[in-house]
Structure 1
């Protein structure tokens, strides 16, 4: 009887931790499938910008567009691994049909001396995107410097539709480097979580065995 309670505690604890690790493995398989689907969508053949894009159904949709870039641009403070702090450049594209769309042209490092924004007629290929970057901690814009890509607010500021094309290629080119949509910024930590839960299960099992050994020594 003296082993019953620690045995039950150990078995229940290990079972719960293993089930959590197994659940994370299922989440890993789901996330990998979702990322593969997103990658396939991002790299699909581009189409014309829909007349009324849907932020959910048309997220990451590859598109082609042409028109005149606007004179005004908003800079978004961001960072890239192994590059450092950058400014993204958001401006407008007025199409031959008279639509005014937002365009994320790309980035320049903050220390770069040449930060001129291209203007005039361009042809571009990219992906529609409605980034989810704004939360309660995001500062308000400081004039033309923004701290997140807030599509509705930027569209209002620049007098455009709330439709953002993140450029993959801009012709003619410029000193601004495109920063295309990718899955790199989508977190996928489920394997690490699974290994953590399985590791805790091993620790719990070891502690249970040690506790039962201590009980045996005390009663010997």
Structure 2
């Protein structure tokens, strides 16, 4: 009887050990991700630096930046909503820096009713402080750009840069001098990075428990059949 139980027992122990190891690995990954998020959230509120020559999503995401230049007429509205103000739009507008670069600036939120009377301040000189960001709020179900209403249904930096003729760099405004009238800046306050590792760890540990339980049940069946 013992000989018949050895292989199933070893198989069960090996499978359980592998699943537990995978769960522990995911816990370690969760800790690394939490440390990364904490580091990036600290970066949000650091003293602003100059706009990098070649901004990169991985290296410069959430980097505080100060720049000067002028707003351009090109713009697009991003469908959105705010709890206190209801449905409306985020205004993303082209901005030319003093050294001739064209970037995207997310100026903030305006309620739906305020869109008709909006002043774009095209040509106005401004000093901006904000954070670089590369959000991608779209998926395969997101409707395409509505050219008739100059409206997009989610932020995609590459798409907006193509529409407005800028480099794919988005500055989410924190403050401007002079401030915009009728537009409420919505600064970056926290990091938005998927962190599924804790959930994955729980799944692996549950699978380990199930594997161990099935192994015990199988060994019990072998023993009772033998008896």
Q: TM-score, normalised by structure 1?
A: 0.81
Matched residue of 1:23: which SS?
A: helix
Matched residue of 1:162: which SS?
A: coil
Aligned residues: 218
Q: Is the 8 A contact 2:41 2:191 kept in 1?
A: no
Map residues 21-40 of structure 1 onto 2, 5 A cutoff. Answer: 21-40=23-42
Q: CA deviation at 1:75?
A: 1.6
User: What is the CA–CA distance in structure 1 between the aligned matches of 2:6 and 2:159, rounded to whole Å?
Assistant: 62
Matched, 1:186 2:188: no
Q: CA deviation at 1:136?
A: 5.8
Q: CA deviation at 1:217?
A: 2.5
Matched, 1:124 2:128: yes
**1:170/1:16 CA distance change after superposition, 3 Å:** same
- Structure 1 counterpart of 2:7: 5
User: What is the CA–CA distance in structure 2 between the aligned matches of 1:78 and 1:186, rounded to whole Å?
Assistant: 20
Matched residue of 1:187: which SS?
A: coil
- Structure 2 counterpart of 1:113: 113
Q: CA deviation at 1:187?
A: 0.8
Matched residue of 2:4: which SS?
A: coil
Q: TM-score, normalised by structure 2?
A: 0.79
User: What is the CA–CA distance in structure 2 between the aligned matches of 1:7 and 1:184, rounded to whole Å?
Assistant: 46
- Structure 2 counterpart of 1:154: 160
Q: CA deviation at 1:14?
A: 0.6
- Structure 1 counterpart of 2:151: 145
Instruction: Compute the RMSD of aligned alpha carbons.
Output: 3.0
Q: CA deviation at 1:142?
A: 1.8
Matched residue of 1:92: which SS?
A: strand
Q: Is the 8 A contact 1:117 1:176 kept in 2?
A: no
**1:7/1:133 CA distance change after superposition, 3 Å:** same
User: What is the CA–CA distance in structure 2 between the aligned matches of 1:202 and 1:147, rounded to whole Å?
Assistant: 44
User: What is the CA–CA distance in structure 1 between the aligned matches of 2:67 and 2:176, rounded to whole Å?
Assistant: 10
Matched residue of 1:60: which SS?
A: coil
Matched residue of 2:39: which SS?
A: helix
Matched, 1:164 2:170: yes
User: What is the CA–CA distance in structure 1 between the aligned matches of 2:53 and 2:22, rounded to whole Å?
Assistant: 45
Q: Is the 8 A contact 1:127 1:168 kept in 2?
A: yes
User: What is the CA–CA distance in structure 2 between the aligned matches of 1:187 and 1:99, rounded to whole Å?
Assistant: 32
- Structure 2 counterpart of 1:177: 184
Q: CA deviation at 1:126?
A: 0.6
